[in-house]
Chains A and B, each alone.
Chain A
């Protein structure tokens, strides 16, 4: 009897355990591809590289905030978040999510993945040529360099993650690398990219939306300028200029009268509304399927930022006598002066009163490099290497193209590097308003020659500071360590090898 019970129980257990669904033991996902099945054909490589570009869309908001919020061209609104206000008020804490670098490292990790796994496709796909591989690798190396450059400028020192993290097993607890090590890596990445990146993909959208050799040169120019290596910067700029592939979109066109010229009414449309213009070098290609983050940021009724009143008052100025005489980059181009809306990303046209984009048409591109940037970077490098006169000539090109007003014209001494470069800075503010460059421009100029010109940064910060915190903010910025962001608390907790940046310890 007992035996019987025993057998019955055993049988029951056996039945229950063995009738399970057969796929239980199959660990491969049914609705996705695993790495072992990917990385087989050249199409796989291509889609992975496209994935790297797609990941850039998530970085725009971070790049905008890092590049603009500590500058002088934004004003908060009633909907500005507490965390954003804290940064404006000079109270930057590591718990502030704005200091999170996660989205940037995500792109870096995608690039690392391509670098790690793409070469093995050469074996499995015989139609995949070495030159194709190198071309793809050039793109991701350049992207990785660009991302590290953003991190370097924002945090000073960051950990260098150069291997892909494809599973929990190869998560690494990294230490911060020194500024020099990060610089070296960026230069290394860009050198590789320059060697193999194609000059064109044959389609305009791809030429402006993917890394070309000229994009690499533009990044190089920016990096060398930051590193105060002016000869190299000028070389990189000259490569772009000599290519003959780019030019400035005319700001003025002939009017009815032959000697007359009138403002090009299509300029805003060509350069900013449509994007991918002849003067564009690299843009994040938002389109009607991928919206940029700027609708809720600048346009909606709960917008978080508007342009500062200083933008029209001091940066562009107005001609009080003739309203048709205006800087084409000012009202209804960078900003709508009637309500401070950041028109560069919000506008659909440039005629008063102006129609803003809607939530379903907010896909203005994010402009990373334009040809005018090349000219002004070259000018800045020239100014600091004894080419003041040539630098001023370049500024003049930019100014006359934009019909810059007499109110913003200056005549600096060509032999004074500082005077010329200050003038270039003012022009950069006009040319690249709200393109995420302002803070880095200010910092680059303040830190040059071992913080020789820190007063430049302090003056700008003072102007934008709230009256009751002005002195505190001023003193904080006098401590040069405060110019870099703190490492976010979450990163410190998860990576025990990270040490907080000194100002925030």
Chain B
């Protein structure tokens, strides 16, 4: 099986550690994941803001980059949802039958990380170790667009050392919403503040989710509040082992020193 990592533009540019975590995790599970260097973005920012013409070349780049793979794995429910549910719309808009055919070929092969782990690889215990109190926010697109259900939860429950506490009103949107976060910043922040309040109420040290864009938003609110709660992508939790590096979050001083060196 040829497996491609679709890292997503947000992770590529802002959260490379999440991408590295997916690579570590999949290799540990025996999957030789490839990174097609031609990939860029799923086009969701354009589509969801209404710029369909601008989305056409981006979707074209997407299908070209991932052609020929048996599975395309991504650490983002939102971007997987975009590829599976919106690329067809963009292709229709382009009027290009070739693009539509390519989309029909690629879209069904796109898996959100937990779908790939549970459904394709058939594992819920990935051998991870993460000795922290964690609460989990199910992101909207993973929950409602993809229907990942309890897959993330089952994976988290099998992480050694991890104590999972319930998040009240977990299924309510955090308020990120792509360009909504800027176009309707006040409403977005009001939603984020309520989510942050619920997170703080759990007493968890770490907020985990499957989308870094949502975590960047809630994490930004929590950080501004000096709440003492950090956000970590689910992939980084699952990649952590007693031997391996637990992502950037484990040793901030080391990480910062590393950053400074570059």
Co-assembled chains A and B:
no
